[in-house]
């Protein structure tokens, strides 16, 4: 089933590539920073930081963005410390809706991301038992679904407000992000 889905996705991309290539405007257009609030599955909410790169448009209203985000959360009870973190590297396609005001650009999007998830537990020495620790890390592929808006603050700077849901095995996450993207070049 997965092979059929990949074959179908590849076929759609190949069929759409030639008309879209004549209308694309790809190249590094903007770079930016973002902060956010993340609510991962099975973990209390925490803050995130990230960087983004706007690569322009693949078609007239379809933009491409890559991103790198990080969040970490630690809890401690009875001296036992447990922490989990996620470094996310991904790309998203954004469909920008047509509006009467060109300074406000609402969008809906989807993308794929690699999630480098780490977990660690540290137990201090207790009752004659020595200190113990355990850690694990895994890489998972996730799907992002969401939307938001971009608005021009000045000719070289955009403000971004975004709401995303990342579907990731064991750590699906809801995130609310705000960021600034700075135009590169002219």
Look at residues 53, 48, 62, 51 and name the one whose alpha carbon lies nearest to residue 17.
62
Other CB atoms within a 10 A radius of the CB of residue 124 amount to 13
User: What is the model's pLDDT at position 4?
Assistant: 46
Architecture in CATH for domain 2-77+89-114+144-183? Beta Barrel (2.40)
pLDDT exceeds cutoff 80 at 146 = yes
Q: Report which of residues 146 and 6 the model is more confident about.
A: 146
Residue pLDDT, tens place only, 71-125:
999 999 888 999 999 999 999 999 999 999 888 999 999 999 999 999 999 998 8
Residue pLDDT, tens place only, 21-57:
557 889 999 999 999 999 998 888 999 999 999 999 9
């Amino acid at each position: 089933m997965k092979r059929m889905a990949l074959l179908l996705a590849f076929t759609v991309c190949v069929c759409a590539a030639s008309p879209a290539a004549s209308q694309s405007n790809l190249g590094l257009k903007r770079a930016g920073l973002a902060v956010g609030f993340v609510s991962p599955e099975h973990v209390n909410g925490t803050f995130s930081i990230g960087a983004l790169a706007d690569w322009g448009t693949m078609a007239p209203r379809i933009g491409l963005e890559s991103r790198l985000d990080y969040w970490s959360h630690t809890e401690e009870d009875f001296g036992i410390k447990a922490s989990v973190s996620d470094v996310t590297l991904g790309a998203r396609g954004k469909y920008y809706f047509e509006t009467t005001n060109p300074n406000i650009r609402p969008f809906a999007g989807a993308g794929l991301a690699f999630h480098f998830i780490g977990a660690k537990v540290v137990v201090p020495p207790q009752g004659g038992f020595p200190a113990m620790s355990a850690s694990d890390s895994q890489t998972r592929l996730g799907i992002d679904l969401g939307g938001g808006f971009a608005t021009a603050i000045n000719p070289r700077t955009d403000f971004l407000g975004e709401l995303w849901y990342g579907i990731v095995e064991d750590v699906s996450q809801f995130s609310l992000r705000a960021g600034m993207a700075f135009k590169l070049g002219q």
